[in-house]
Structure 1
Amino acid sequence: MVLTNQDMVDLVAFRRKLHSMPELSREEAQTAREVQAFLKATHPDWTLTDLGGHGIAAVYEGREPGPTVMVRAELDGLPIQEISDAPHRSATPGKGHLCGHDGHMAILAALARELGRQRPQRGRAILMFQPAEEDGSGAAAVVADPRFRQIAPDYAFALHNVPGLPFGRVALTEGPVNCASRGMRIVLTGKTAHASMPETGLSPVSVVADLMPKLTALGKGGLLEEDFSMVTVTHAKIGEPAFGVAPAHGEIWATLRTLTDAGMEELCASAEQLVLSVAREQGLGVEVSYDDIFHHCENAPEAVAHLRQALDAENVPYDRGDLPMRASEDFGRFGQKAPAAMFFLGAGEKHPSLHNPDYDFPDDLIPIGARVFMRTLRNLLG
């Protein structure tokens, strides 16, 4: 794959425009319009829009029968205030593309340019711009959309940039590469009382204080092996900000994390048993619910083999790196439908970390990611 100077000028401008206008999960309407406008000039054979929300799938068909190969990027940004002096910094207060999804979209835009110039010989190339990755709902919504059957892939590929990894170096391995995680919301209900007579009410204060360290202790920690687990308390609330009322309401939010989906089922069961036991012992009502549900992401050996072949051909250095990683990724949903693999592309050892307020995607990664994906597509589709 050869990107011209003009291609790079256009792709960088596209990436930076997206960077300046971040939208949160399930709100990516304008981002989707910008992607559609860029894709239109590459003349895909057909396009699905509003897929699982604001998702877009652009289809480039070959002349002969063959496999369907999907490459995925993400549309959404984060609810984080960006700290930057760059001209393309976020123009939306409290929101920022601080995970690099703007760069991932630009990489797929580069693929669209190449596929527009030269269709695959066989099969179909699908460029999937997925909504709502950051809250874990997007891939599930895309797969649940009845129209997904029209583009069901035989292989699915994705990447994520990784600060801390040497620039342009790839981490890749078979098996689990991203942990399962989910947000556990615990709501405790008692009875209010006057602050001078707390004994006439039923307060959740002692239960909240008791549960937080006990929940954390459920996590085994340690190496990222099959029995790895972690519980992180992220938020707690007791009553309302008033001095005259002993509270009746308490909440604890915690993120549960395991290497595998099977481990997550076990951790959830243990956490629920703990919460119910402690709350009911004190006579409190209790409700448990879950948000931001991410399945673990597993790289299929046959899909990894295709990426390795492409990396070798493109002379991109790679090894196992520090995989698997604790962070979650909802690309795992696609891996439940077809052999799938994600590789992790180094953004530089000293580059600001993902989700940091000063993070910005390195534009020079665009051609590297595009070359690896394009070589994978050509190897599979011709």
Structure 2
Amino acid sequence: MLNLNELITLRKALHQNPELSNQEQATAARILKVFQTFSADETYTDLGGTGLAFVFNGSESGPTTLIRSELDALPIEETNTFAYRSQVKGVSHKCGHDGHMSIVTSVGAELCKNRPHRGRVILCFQPAEETGQGAIQVVNDARFASLNPDYAFALHNYPGLALGKVAVRAGTFNCASRGMIIHLKGKTSHAAHPENGVSPANAMCKIIQGLGELPSTIANQAIQGRNWLTVIHAKLGEIAFGTAPGEAVVMVTLRSETNEGMQTLIEQAETFSHLIANNENLRLSIEYADVFQASVNSQQGCDLVVNACQTTQTPFLLLEEPMRWSEDFGQFTATANEGAMFALGSGQTSPQLHNPDYDFPDKLIPIGTDLFLNIIRQLNGIRDKS
């Protein structure tokens, strides 16, 4: 249905017209228009917001296999100068979701010609991966219960790994992470009489220092997996030399190899922050943003990816440790219980993800397509009519 040149044209059109998380209406419409020529057996629109799902049924009973892609782009100004650079100021596909969409569209083109033999295959395009909201929105959509996958798979391109090489592992593949925002509130006073106020300055410094030491403390408590805490922003008062500060904010990123480790990190960070605030006679409140669970691959899911690599003669490596970056795909494997995410190398000289000059390599489209199709063949078979 679609040759490689047509898929590259699609990828470049998506690249030129990026949309931020939960704003992907035009991107979803573009994908829907292409899939309308594929005659899927069922089509779901507005899934979890702007999400899409296309179902291809087999003629015999069998498992349901879900393949996921992402719709959203990032709030980054592109610095590339090629003809298909982003046409949207301050927004661009710097994580390669344009390429992921093209790969899963290519799988759809193949399933249009050759349906699965047994069970069914769901090709899902989710919104808002970058904020950690999209997969939760899709899974919590009431209609997702009728999809109910037995297996779930996804890939993510990965700069620094040889072009076309796969990296995978059983267990945690991507770390859990979340942004923690700590608000400290005291009372302002005249800078000439700071004793008449309650300044959060001392507490802010203690919290920054103490939280930075927290991962090493947890490491000594036999908590499974590694943990990190990174202070990313702090603000004290306002720029007014006549006023002693009354408010402060500390923002940190919590990261853990396991969901259990994340829960320990949260509990201890909150306990420590409350203790410091109480000692300094401050009111404290905490909120969270960009919440990602760990993405955990099942052993069978990992084995299916390895088998696909071996069958397609795609080089691969088994990772010893999880990727530190986060992904919301874990919502799907938690629902399906079996499945895996794997990394597909974008090249050792490629700009890194989220860099302003990054661009998805088109050579990965047929490689990713073949890997997904082989996984589908292993689980569902494919009725070859071509």
- Aligned-pair CA distance for 1:321: 4.0
Give 1:305's aligned residue.
303
After superposition, give the CA deviation of every residue in 1:347-368 in whole Å (9 maximum; x if it has no partner).
0011100111111000110000
Greater Cα offset, 356-365 or 74-83: 74-83
Give 1:36's aligned residue.
32
Give 1:370's aligned residue.
369
After superposition, give the CA deviation of every residue in 1:312-333 in whole Å (9 maximum; x if it has no partner).
1111011114641111111111
Q: Retained in 2: the 8 A contact 1:171–1:323? A: no
Q: For the structure 1 residues 351 and 322, does the alpha-carbon distance in structure 2 shift closer, same or farther, using more than 3 Å as the test?
A: farther
Tell me how far apart the structure 1 counterparts of residues 247 and 5 of structure 2 sit (CA, whole Å).
Answer: 55
Give 2:356's aligned residue.
357
Which amino acid is 1:11 matched to? L
Residue 72 (structure 1) aligned with residue 68 (structure 2) = yes
Give 1:248's aligned residue.
246
Give 1:194's aligned residue.
190
Give 1:24's aligned residue.
20
Give the structure-2-normalised TM-score.
Answer: 0.94
Aligned runs of 1:231-310 on 2, under 5 Å? Answer: 231-310=229-308
Residue 179 (structure 1) aligned with residue 175 (structure 2) = yes
Tell me how far apart the structure 2 counterparts of residues 259 and 75 of structure 1 sit (CA, whole Å).
Answer: 26
After superposition, give the CA deviation of every residue in 1:239-259 in whole Å (9 maximum; x if it has no partner).
223333222121111000111
Which amino acid is 2:71 matched to? L
What SS class does the counterpart of residue 337 from structure 1 fall into? helix
What SS class does the counterpart of residue 255 from structure 1 fall into? strand
Which amino acid is 1:274 matched to? F
Tell me how far apart the structure 2 counterparts of residues 129 and 355 of structure 1 sit (CA, whole Å).
Answer: 20
1:85 corresponds to which of 81, 86, 91:
81
Q: Retained in 2: the 8 A contact 1:171–1:322? A: no
Q: Retained in 2: the 8 A contact 1:211–1:278? A: yes
Tell me how far apart the structure 1 counterparts of residues 16 and 281 of structure 2 sit (CA, whole Å).
Answer: 51
Give the structure-1-normalised TM-score.
Answer: 0.95
Give 2:95's aligned residue.
99
Tell me how far apart the structure 2 counterparts of residues 248 and 348 of structure 1 sit (CA, whole Å).
Answer: 50
Give 2:215's aligned residue.
219
Tell me how far apart the structure 1 counterparts of residues 11 and 321 of structure 2 sit (CA, whole Å).
Answer: 28
- Aligned-pair CA distance for 1:269: 0.7
After superposition, give the CA deviation of every residue in 1:23-81 in whole Å (9 maximum; x if it has no partner).
11111111111111111111111111111111111111111211110000111111111
After superposition, give the CA deviation of every residue in 1:299-319 in whole Å (9 maximum; x if it has no partner).
101111222221111110111
What SS class does the counterpart of residue 316 from structure 1 fall into? coil
Tell me how far apart the structure 1 counterparts of residues 331 and 19 of structure 2 sit (CA, whole Å).
Answer: 22
Tell me how far apart the structure 1 counterparts of residues 332 and 117 of structure 2 sit (CA, whole Å).
Answer: 24
After superposition, give the CA deviation of every residue in 1:208-261 in whole Å (9 maximum; x if it has no partner).
122112111112399xx9331100011111222333322212111100011100
Tell me how far apart the structure 1 counterparts of residues 375 and 303 of structure 2 sit (CA, whole Å).
Answer: 10
Greater Cα offset, 321-330 or 177-186: 321-330
Q: Retained in 2: the 8 A contact 1:296–1:328? A: yes
Tell me how far apart the structure 2 counterparts of residues 366 and 201 of structure 1 sit (CA, whole Å).
Answer: 61
What SS class does the counterpart of residue 32 from structure 1 fall into? helix
Aligned runs of 1:196-211 on 2, under 5 Å? Answer: 196-211=192-207
Residue 14 (structure 1) aligned with residue 10 (structure 2) = yes
Give 2:48's aligned residue.
52
Residue 138 (structure 1) aligned with residue 137 (structure 2) = no
Tell me how far apart the structure 2 counterparts of residues 39 and 240 of structure 1 sit (CA, whole Å).
Answer: 53
Tell me how far apart the structure 1 counterparts of residues 103 and 300 of structure 2 sit (CA, whole Å).
Answer: 23
Q: Retained in 2: the 8 A contact 1:180–1:328? A: yes
What SS class does the counterpart of residue 35 from structure 1 fall into? helix
Tell me how far apart the structure 2 counterparts of residues 123 and 194 of structure 1 sit (CA, whole Å).
Answer: 72
- Aligned-pair CA distance for 1:342: 0.8
What RMSD over aligned residues (CA atoms) do the two structures have, in Å? Answer: 1.5
- Aligned-pair CA distance for 1:105: 0.5
What SS class does the counterpart of residue 335 from structure 2 fall into? coil
| Number of residues of Structure 1 aligned to a counterpart in Structure 2 | 376
Which amino acid is 2:46 matched to? D
Tell me how far apart the structure 2 counterparts of residues 29 and 214 of structure 1 sit (CA, whole Å).
Answer: 44
* Structure 1: gaps spanning 5 or more residues: none
What SS class does the counterpart of residue 112 from structure 1 fall into? helix
Q: Retained in 2: the 8 A contact 1:279–1:285? A: yes
Q: % of aligned pairs identical?
A: 45
Tell me how far apart the structure 2 counterparts of residues 247 and 82 of structure 1 sit (CA, whole Å).
Answer: 38
Tell me how far apart the structure 2 counterparts of residues 57 and 196 of structure 1 sit (CA, whole Å).
Answer: 63
